[in-house]
Amino acid sequence: MTKQEPVSALRPQRKMRDGIHVAKVSLAHGGGGKAMRDLIDDVFVAAFDNPALAPLEDQARFGLADLAKHGDRLAFTSDSFVVEPLEFPGGDIGKLAICGTVNDLAVGGAKPLYLSCSVIIEEGLDVGFLRKIARSMAETASAAGVAIVTGDTKVVTRGACDKLFINTAGIGIIRSALDLGAHRAEAGDAILVNGLLGDHGAAILAARGDLRLDTMIQSDCAPLNGLIDTLIEACPQVKFMRDATRGGLATVLNEIAEASGVGIEIDERRTPLREEVKGFCEILGLDPLYLANEGKIVVVVPGHLAETARAAMSSHPLGRDSAMIGHVTEGPAGRVVMQTHFGGKRIVDMLVGEQLPRIC
Amino acid sequence: MQYVDEFRDPEKAASLIAAINDLTKTLALHRDHPLHIMEVCGGHTHAIFRYGIANMLPPEIEFVHGPGCPVCVLPMGRVDDCVAIAETPGVIFTTFGDAMRVPGSKKSLLQAKADGADIRMVYSPLDALELARANPTREVVFFGLGFETTMPSTAFTVLQASAEGLMNFSLFCNHITIIPTMRAILESPELRLDGFLGPGHVSMVIGTRVYDFIAEQYKKPLVVAGFEPLDVLQSVWLVLKQIAEGRCEIENQYGRIAPPDGNKAALSAVEQVFELREFFEWRGLGSIDHSGVRMREAYARFDAERKFAMPSLKIEDPKACECGDVLKGLIKPWQCKVFGTACTPQTPLGALMVSSEGACAAYYQYGDLEGLRDKRHADAA
Amino acid sequence: MCLGIPGRIVAISNAERKLATVDVSGVKREVNIACIIGERPIEACIGDWVLVHVGFAMSVIDEAQAAETLRILVELGEAQQEIAAMRASGRA
């Protein structure tokens, strides 16, 4: 990739615009005219600023030969982000939008390369805030080594969306010879996670404010492609990875058990949880196994490579608290069981609906 | 976590299990005629499943899951009343989380929220009060349900609202009392119970002496139990010990938190704000005398029942629903004809499948205990 | 109806409304302490371990009773070990 130069240097023939001077986004900014160009240039292009984006055609273009240098399959994913509140301890909707898509590519064994960013803005949103989000996305993209190369901007009337919705789609190239899949788990395989569970879910719930709990818990939102590179290098025999987002660890385990037609047994003593997240869950009667994570993956490797995988992940800053939490069993197929710290066994089932705090 | 981790110590659990096994042999129990211990509280049901306690016990001891789950026993008609209040223009309807999914005859509160009613989940009635202060032009209603454990919190909240002269706060009172319920269970002719795990947090408020009649009149041992897994196991052990030693007493395992005379300040607040209803409708159990409370006349201006129009209908459970029999401990959840088929957590017919403490939901989600138990039999053979 | 969790009172936030800050493993929440003040000055509640239920401190945890409950279980464990040892030696 060529050195990134500012937009103005690459496209001297485009008239340098004044930028936005109003404080709030209005419907005019979605109208397709000058106001919209100003919004796009001033807020998004200025932040994302890279050679693939600079031409501002209707599409970004890449040479296939260049892509093929990284592997033999194209990976393609998309995610929409509607998180509330838009800002929370540890991140914001922008950071989340980049991490979510980068991670969806990385867990498939792909090197994430290019992202699109499409936004739907409710009229009245503060422009300064939008700039902040765009900068957050740019920083996260840079940290992840990806570029935002195309996108779309729409503005809708008040009430037609909740402040800001973001969609990111991404492409990456899958390394040759890697074949990851939820169906590949077999009895004897080890199951690992790269750190403390439940931080994001707890941070969001606390940040919404209606529970009036005061806590230092931060979202674990992070791009995991670097961690995953380290893991794959040490353990190319890895069979499956998935980020434990909505529905938490429990949901991913159930998905694996079902797709592979196997059983899974985990040990409660080995599931890493922050003390504060434990306290948070105890107060509300929530089960931390179902809380969302935005910087955690569930990894399935052949049993004899468990320690290799754990050590590799632990060597990376985003995997310091990596742990082997359990293993795959013969069955019954689709059943996930947890050995409780206390000594009993219980089933860890799929969630029905959303987990609600309880009084009993 | 202090006062929590110590009561989840697996080593002490092992000792208790060994002691329970010994007593089981002493009592010459047989798995075809197991001892039946009823845990009254939904919180105990939850603990039993969460920690896998039932399958740590020998098969000669069976838990019978009692009706102490206020969300489970909420009649559909009352949910309809909630929805009616919530759909009144200008109302902010506040409720505990787990009440939101209970089906009414047309919809649950969660569905009413999706349809546009301003329904908000709160952790505490104090948060509802805060909403009332912050929204003086809106009427804030708090859905108060629960046994005596939760009555003091709503009572104090009403007293605080009164002290501040708030004009836009009301309570929709659905509090129920534990003693008449237990009496109804004990009077049930088909019931075969050998002992009780008493409700630890209800006792924290009302004390332990209130259960004396169960030992004296009905000759059943009762151990007031805490909610950590060691508390539950120790309480089971104490019930067994009583039976083995031919005793029939009210014992308090939860003395660190539940005092014998209850909490004076709490009881005083409850007495000030609430009075007993002549009778109250329970889902699955029908009408039970003196089993609910309503707000006293003096606090009428905070009483949603007086302030709002609501259908107040008695809605029958679906014909197929066998919640009543499960609540009374007559059948196990999986013995209900619609368990897991027409009635699942996704499509609940009855409240026991809706609430996370409901025995049916617990079996469905955590359970297949019978499967695990059969495996244990096979392993032991 | 039963969900309660132990927490420690770390500050009084509003003496008039009888509100205090309670700490549960680092998570803080304002709770009403009307049930546990008793005859004491409100500041005396700071440091108390209490059972928290829906935003109310419902009971002060009796440390001595908690220790006693655990001691009984430790004793039981020791007794069990003795019995097991006796059984084993009986078979030897």
Give the least confident one: A91-100, B1-10, B24-33. Answer: B24-33
What pLDDT was estimated at residue B334? 83
Does residue A295 contact residue A218 with C-beta atoms inside 8 Å?
no
pLDDT, residue A18, reads: 59
Residues 284-303 of A with CB under 8 A from B: 284-285
Distance between CA atoms of residues A22 and A35, nearest Å: 10
CATH class as words, domain A182-347: alpha beta
Identify whether residues C44 and C80 lie together within a single domain. no
pLDDT value at residue B371: 53
Rounded to the nearest angstrom, the minimum Cα separation between B318 and chain C is: 26
User: Which residues in chain C are contacts of A280 at CB distance < 8 A?
Assistant: 24-25, 27
**C-beta separation of C54 from B157 below 8 A:** no
Residues 83-102 of B with CB under 8 A from A: 96-98, 100-101
Residue A34 has pLDDT above 70, yes or no: yes
Lowest average pLDDT, out of A239-253, A301-315, B44-58, goes to: B44-58
Partner residue facing C2 (CB), from A206, A215, A360: A360
What is residue B362's predicted lDDT score, i.e. its pLDDT?
81
Contact C25 A279 (CB under 8 A): yes
CB nearest to A344's CB, from B51, B355, B356: B51
In the sheet that holds B222-225, the strands lie side by side as: B61-68, B35-41, B195-199, B222-225, B250-252
Phi, psi of A249 (to 5 degrees): -60, -45
- Of the candidates C3, C24, C29, the beta carbon closest to that of A359 is on C3
Q: How far is A195 from chain C (nearest CA, A)?
A: 19
**CATH number of the domain bearing residue C51:** 2.30.30.140
| pLDDT higher than 50, residue B296 | yes
| Residue-wise burial string across A187-199, b where 16 or more C-beta atoms lie within 10 A, e elsewhere | eebbbbbbbbbbb
- Show the domain range for C8: 1-61
Q: Which residue among A212, A215, A360 places its CB closest to the CB of C26?
A: A215
Which of the residues A346, A348, A351, A356 would you substitute to probe the B interface, choosing the one with the greatest number of B C-beta atoms within 10 Å? A346
3-state secondary structure of A168: strand
**Nearest CB to C5 within list A212, A214, A282:** A282
Contact A327, A191 (CB under 8 A): yes
Provide, rounded to the nearest whole percent, the portion of chain B with pLDDT above 70: 95
pLDDT tens-digit map of A182-231: 999 999 999 999 999 999 999 999 999 889 999 999 999 999 999 999 99
Of A206, A279, A359, the CB nearest to C24: A279
Q: Judge whether A230 and A316 are in contact, CB under 8 Å.
A: yes
Domain segments of chain B: what residues? 76-176+292-307, 323-380
Q: How far is C25 from chain A (nearest CA, A)?
A: 5
A255-275 mean pLDDT:
96
Shared-domain flag, residues C50 and C71: no
Confidence of residue C92 (pLDDT cuts 50, 70, 90): low
Give the separation between CA B61 and CA B235, rounded to whole angstroms.
13
Contact between C12 and C22 (Cβ < 8 Å): no
Report yes or no: C90 at the A interface, CB cutoff 8 Å.
no
Residue B25 has pLDDT above 70, yes or no: yes
What are the structure tokens assigned to B108, written together?
A: 């649950």
CB-closest option in B41, B52, B101 to A346: B52
Q: Tell me the pLDDT band of B29, cut-offs 50, 70 and 90.
A: confident
Interface test with B, best of A342, A345, A352, A356 (most B CBs within 10 A): A342
Per the prediction, chain B carries an average pLDDT of: 91
Q: What percent of chain A has pLDDT over 70?
A: 95
Mean pLDDT of B159-188: 95
pLDDT for A16 beyond 60: no
Partner A contacted by C26 (CB < 8 A): yes
- Flag if B123 and C83 touch (Cβ within 8 Å): no
How confident is the model over B275-281, as a mean pLDDT?
A: 93
For the stretch B327-364, pLDDT in tens is 777 788 888 889 888 898 878 888 788 776 678 888 88
To the nearest whole Å, the CA of B256 is away from the closest chain C CA by: 5
Substitution target from C2, C9, C76, C87 for chain B, most B beta carbons within 10 A: C2
**Residue B300 pLDDT:** 97
Coil, helix or strand for A59?
coil
What's the pLDDT score for residue B71? Answer: 87
Tokens representing B302? 């905070």
Q: How many other CB atoms are there within 10 angstroms of residue A86's CB atom?
A: 20
Query: Terminal CA-to-CA distance of chain C, rounded, Å?
Result: 52
Per-residue pLDDT at A1 exceeds 50: no
Q: Is the pLDDT of residue C36 over 60?
A: yes
From CA A11, how far away is CA A13, in angstroms rounded?
A: 5
Burial of residue A259 (CB within 10 Å: 0-12, 13-18, 19+) is middle
| In a shared domain, residues C67 and C29 | no
* Interface touch A356/B121, C-beta < 8 Å: yes
| DSSP classification of residue A167 | E
Cβ neighbours around C87 below 10 Å, total: 10
Smallest Cβ–Cβ distance between B365 and the set A349, A356, A360 belongs to: A349
Query: Residue A70 class from Cβ within 10 Å (0-12 exposed, 13-18 middle, 19+ buried)?
Result: middle
Q: Does C30 contact chain A (CB < 8 Å)?
A: yes
Query: 350-369 in B: which are within 8 Å (CB) of A?
Result: 355-357, 364-368
Domain spans, chain A = 16-174, 182-347
Q: Residues A230-246: what's their mean pLDDT?
A: 97
Quick one: how many helices (H) and strands (E) in chain C? Answer: 2, 5
Per-residue model confidence (pLDDT) at position B368? 61
Q: Which amino acid is at B229?
A: P
CA distance B301 to C38: 29
Q: Report the SS3 class of residue C87.
A: helix
Neighbours of chain A (3+ CB pairs under 8 A): B, C
Contacts of C28 in chain A (CB under 8 A): 213-215
> What's the confidence (pLDDT) of residue B141?
98
Binned at pLDDT 50, 70 and 90, residue A9 comes out as very low
- Three-class DSSP category at A148: strand
Q: Which of B49-53, B214-218, B312-316, B371-375 tops mean pLDDT? A: B214-218
Burial class (CB in 10 A: 0-12, 13-18, 19+), B32: exposed
Looking at residue B196, its pLDDT comes to 97
Six token digits for residue A355: 């987990």
Chain B residue numbers with beta carbons less than 8 Å from the beta carbon of C17 are: 160
Residue A352 clears pLDDT 50, i.e. is over it: yes
Is residue C30 domain-shared with residue C57, that is, in the same domain?
Answer: yes
Interface test with A, best of B98, B343, B369, B373 (most A CBs within 10 A): B98
SS3 A347: strand
Asked if the Cβ–Cβ distance from C27 to A285 is below 8 Å, we say no
In this predicted model, which residue has the larger pLDDT, B103 or C33? C33
Rounded-to-integer distance, Cα A250 and Cα A242, Å:
12
Interchain CB distance below 8 Å, C28 and A215? yes
pLDDT of residue A232: 97
pLDDT of amino acid A65: 95
Quick: pLDDT tens for C43-91: 999 999 999 999 999 999 999 999 999 999 999 988 888 888 888 887 6
Give the model's confidence band at A95: pLDDT under 50 very low, under 70 low, under 90 confident, else very high: very high
- SS3 of residue A30 by DSSP: helix
- Tell me the nearest-neighbour CA distance from B44 into chain C, angstroms: 8
How many CB atoms sit inside 10 A of residue B257's CB?
27
Distance between C1 CA and the closest CA of chain A, angstroms: 4
With beta carbons under 8 A apart, name residues in chain B contacting A214.
none
C7 in the same domain as C38 = yes
Q: For A209, name the nearest residue in chain B, comparing CA atoms only.
A: B122
Q: Is the pLDDT of residue A72 over 90?
A: yes
Site from A275, A337, A360 to mutate, B interface, most B CB atoms within 10 angstroms: A360
As a whole-number percent, the residues of chain B with pLDDT over 90 amount to 66
Name the CATH superfamily housing domain B76-176+292-307. Answer: HypD, alpha/beta domain 2 (3.40.50.11740)
Which chain B residue lies closest to C5 (C-alpha atoms)? B4
pLDDT band (50, 70, 90) for residue A30: confident
Looking at domain A16-174, its CATH superfamily turns out to be PurM-like, N-terminal domain (3.30.1330.10)
Q: Exposure string (b/e) for B226-255, b if CB count within 10 Å is 16 or more?
A: bbbbbbbbbbbbbbbbbbeeeebebbbbbb
* Owner of token pair 């079996």: B363
Q: What is the 3-state secondary structure (H, E, C) of chain B?
A: CCCCHHHHCHHHHHHHHHHHHHHHHHCCCECCECEEEEEEEHHHHHHHHHCCCHHHCCCCEEEEEEEECCCCCCCHHHHHHHHHHHCCCCEEEEECHHHHHCCCCCCCHHHHHHCCCCEEECCCHHHHHHHHHHCCCCEEEEEEEECCCCHHHHHHHHHHHHHHCCCCEEEEEEEECHHHHHHHHHHCCCCCCCEEEEEHHHHHHHCCHHHHHHHHCCCCCEEEECCCHHHHHHHHHHHHHHHHCCCCCEEECCCCCCCCCCCHHHHHHHHHHEEECCEEEECCCEEEECCEEEECHHHHHHEHHHHCCCCCCCCCCCCCCCHHHHHCCCCCHHHCCCECCCECCCCCCCHHHCCCCCHHHHHHHHHCHHHHHHHHHHHHC
CB–CB contact B150 C17 (8 Å): no
How far from A311 is each of A196, A238, A320, B70, CA to CA, in Å?
A: 16, 14, 9, 48
